[in-house]
Amino acid sequence: MPSPTFSDGSRVLLVEDNQETCESLQLLLTLRGYDVRTAADGLDGFRQALEWRPNAIVSDIGLPGIDGWRLASCLRETFQETVRLIALTSHGRVEDRQRSREAGFDAHLTKPSDPAELLELLSAVLPNRNIDPGSAGPDTTVQGKSGRASRERRANQIDE
């Protein structure tokens, strides 16, 4: 497993309605070199994604306005496979993971999650990442994959 390292300023949008969780994640990612913006609801998250064009979006599921699943579906339709979508939620049942996959999330983490897991998911796909040259890391590149291959990869990551 590659060790999470520092980013080159890749853009990450956090969509989280719990202020303490959002601030903690923002601090973690900022200290790791990510350029981070936040949204407290699904509609604001969608608006910011359209304006800012992040490399990755980390979203809660239980959001005011539109929930994280609807947000992911809209984002996937808009951005296709050019953005990494990660669910970070307390919804951890098998049915929740399936619904995340169907909505278009690339990965599903259940709260409380290990921050290293999130950092690894982000470092594995963002451009110009600093990965330890001794570790190959998983093949999780989002851009350039066919829709079917991306859906299969997403299904495997969500089921892990």
Per residue in 43-75, pLDDT (tens digit) is: 999 999 999 999 999 999 999 999 999 999 999
Burial category of 52 from C-beta neighbours within 10 Å (exposed 0-12, middle 13-18, buried 19 and up): exposed
**Burial of residue 104, with CB atoms counted within 10 A of its CB: 0-12 exposed, 13-18 middle, 19 or more buried:** buried
Domain-embedded: residue 83: yes
More reliable by pLDDT, 149 or 135: 149
Domain that holds residue 108: 11-159
Strand partners, 85: 57
**pLDDT score at 123:** 87
pLDDT in tens, 88-140: 999 999 999 999 999 999 999 999 999 999 999 998 766 544 433 333 333 33
Instruction: For residue 143, tell me if it sits in a domain.
Output: yes
Instruction: Give yes or no for residue 157 having a pLDDT over 80.
Output: no
**What is d(CA 141, CA 127) in angstroms, rounded to the nearest whole number?**
9
The mean per-residue pLDDT over the stretch 25-37 comes to 95
CATH number of the domain where residue 51 is located: 3.40.50.2300
pTM equals 0.77
User: What is the pLDDT, as a whole number, of residue 126?
Assistant: 61
Contact call for residues 110 and 89 (beta carbons, < 8 A) = yes
Number of domains making up the chain: 1
20 pLDDT higher than 90? yes
Q: Which amino acid is at 131?
A: I
- Taking the CA atoms of the chain, what radius of gyration do you get in angstroms? 14
Q: Is residue 6 a part of any domain in this protein?
A: no
How far, CA to CA in Å, does 120 sit from each of 92, 105, 155? 20, 16, 18
Q: Is residue 30 part of a domain?
A: yes
- Give a yes or no: residue 34 inside a domain: yes
* From 2-16, 24-38, 63-77, the region with the lowest mean pLDDT: 2-16
The CA-CA-CA angle for residues 50, 84, 92, to 5°, reads 110
